Structure 1
Amino acid sequence: MIRIRELRKEKNLSQKDLATQFHVAQNTISGWEKGMRDPDTDTVAALAAFFDVSTDYLLGNTDIRKPASRPTVDDDDIKFALFGTTDIDDATLEDIKAYARFKREQYNNR
């Protein structure tokens, strides 16, 4: 967990500060940073959230701090993609969504 030290220093935190934040002993933080100990899975996730990086970045599996988030799709996007306009009534859209859920379940149960 080499990156814990790097990220801790970026936030100007001492090992003691980070230990207090995560309710562990300072020597636990030292062990993580030196690679002598590994935090449990829940702590890895909490550390990643705390430092606002992905767990893969924290673990050294990638150099990308945080992958780009997936774009969101709203109802108007669905309407336009299917019909070329957003001027579709809500009942029709709900029917389409219900059919899509049905087909997804059918596909997953193959």
Structure 2
Amino acid sequence: MKILVAERLKELMKESGVTQYALAKAIGMRQSNVSEWLSQKKEPSIKSLWLLADFFDVDIDFLIGRKNY
């Protein structure tokens, strides 16, 4: 199974009109973390996935590609 975090995150950010900086600030992370997730250099931790899911009001399963909406 392919993990789709970067693709889903880009999609959600575009739909919401949120920048990397704004997202990072909202979830208490550095912009470099968000950048690394988007470029697939790193995967978010479980804690980060929870924060992202809460921020975008989606399931973690959606973020990682196990569910579609």
Q: Using structure 1 for the length normalisation, give the TM-score.
A: 0.53
SS in 1 for 2:65: coil
Structure with max Cα Rg: 1
1:37 equivalent to 2:54? Answer: no
Percent identity reads 33
1:27 equivalent to 2:32? Answer: yes
Q: Which of structure 1's runs of 4+ aligned residues deviate more than 6 A?
A: none
Q: How many residues align?
A: 64
The offset of 1:46, in angstroms, is: 1.7
Q: Is the 8 A contact 1:31 1:37 kept in 2?
A: yes
The corresponding residue for 1:62 is 67
Q: Using structure 2 for the length normalisation, give the TM-score.
A: 0.80
The corresponding residue for 1:8 is 13
Runs of 5+ in structure 1 lacking a partner? Answer: 65-110
The offset of 1:61, in angstroms, is: 1.7
Which structure exhibits the higher relative contact order, with contacts defined as CA atoms closer than 8 Å and separated by 6 or more residues? Answer: 2
Counterpart AA for 2:24: A
Q: Distance in 2 between matches of 1:15 and 1:25?
A: 9
Q: Distance in 2 between matches of 1:43 and 1:26?
A: 13
The offset of 1:4, in angstroms, is: 0.9
Q: RMSD over aligned Cα, in angstroms?
A: 1.2
The 5 Å alignment of 1:84-95 reads none
